[in-house]
Amino acid sequence: MARVRVSHADLSVGVPLQFPVYSVAGDLLLGRGYVIQKQDQIDRLIEMKAFRHEMRGDYRGIQNGRVFGILNTNTRTQSREIRSQGPVVTSFPAFTRGPEFFLLSLSRQEDVSFSANFVGTLKGQSLLVTVPQCADAFQPGIEVKGKIVVGRYIYMFHSRVQARVFEPFDILHIDLPVQATRQIFRRHLRVDVDLDARVIRNDMTTSGFDATIVNLSIGGMGISVPEADLMVGEHFRISLRLPAGDGFGSSLMLTGIVRNASVRGAHHKVFGVELQGLSDQERASLQNYIFDIATSLSSTPN
């Protein structure tokens, strides 16, 4: 579909856009249905020679009412589940496919943890897991602490090694926990971080500018941008590198949209950003990092 340059006649403050707006390079700037907040935004779009589709189409308006998830509506987004403000004590989860993550540490040495592979359960008796051969401290009678991810929760529990069988495979038998401490992990769990990042706008007018990620979740982040201003609803890319162990791990280039802004000082704003279009690898990298932070298994981010 052909694109034409936007004009003042196409844009109005307080009126939802009937079309998406693109930069000269073809990158999405504002989505269909976005409500322009001030005249400065219109002037900026005209100045950068932004484009729209030649055929506008009919905009049907934003519907009122309760919604679930992340949708572009004018009502407050609500969760299907009442969000807990902190960890809660609950029954140990039942699962058939096994947890996605399983970490074990000695109760007296929690700063050293080992990744365990879930093998199965003996009904009502024990969990069966494998640990690296170097984890020779896991012997019968030793008290351990475990952390697992099941569904959208992290479960933290205490247990005891029943037995260790070396043949034909090195397998630990651990007392089946009765209860665990549960904390929301997916979507609603947000961890405080301090990560350097680089914001690249889609308008192609700048080479990018420095930012600091101050909090992070699977679906979004808060970024501090002292020397620049972003528009609510603006699409952009953000480059970052996640710490891992003694060095740095995955380098990510993510796509986001600004959802809100809060002032933290005379020249300091924090923007709430929704992440979009995460690949499986990007999602896995974020999950691993947030898991480490939430369970205090990694050092403080640089």
Q: pLDDT digit string (tens) for 271-302?
A: 989 999 888 888 888 877 876 776 554 333 33
In whole angstroms, how far apart are CA 46 and each of 8, 11, 110, 203? 7, 10, 58, 12
Task: For the domain made up of 88-184, give the CATH fold.
Answer: Pnp Oxidase; Chain A (2.30.110)
Model confidence band, residue 181 (pLDDT cutoffs 50, 70, 90): very high
Neighbouring CB atoms inside 10 A of 51's CB total 21
Burial class from Cβ neighbours inside 10 Å (0-12, 13-18, 19+) for residue 221 reads buried
* Domains of the chain, residue spans: 3-78, 88-184, 191-294
Average pLDDT of the chain?
Answer: 76
**185 band by pLDDT with thresholds 50, 70 and 90:** low
pTM for the full model? 0.45
Query: Which tokens go with 188?
Result: 């609603």
- Residue 21 exposure: Cα atoms within 13 Å on the Cβ side: 27
Does the pLDDT value for residue 1 go beyond 60?
no
Predicted local distance difference test score (pLDDT) of residue 254: 95
The structure tokens 């052909």 sit at 2
Give DSSP secondary structure letters for 231-264: -TT-EEEEEEEEEETTEEEEEEEEEEEEEEEEEE
Tell me the C-alpha distance between 166 and 149, whole Å: 26
Q: Mean per-residue pLDDT for 218-230?
A: 83
Strand partners, 215: 192, 222
CATH superfamily of 191-294: predicted glycosyltransferase like domains (2.40.10.220)
Could you give the percent of the chain with pLDDT greater than 70? 75
pLDDT tens profile 87-136 = 888 888 877 667 767 888 888 776 667 878 888 888 889 999 987 777 78
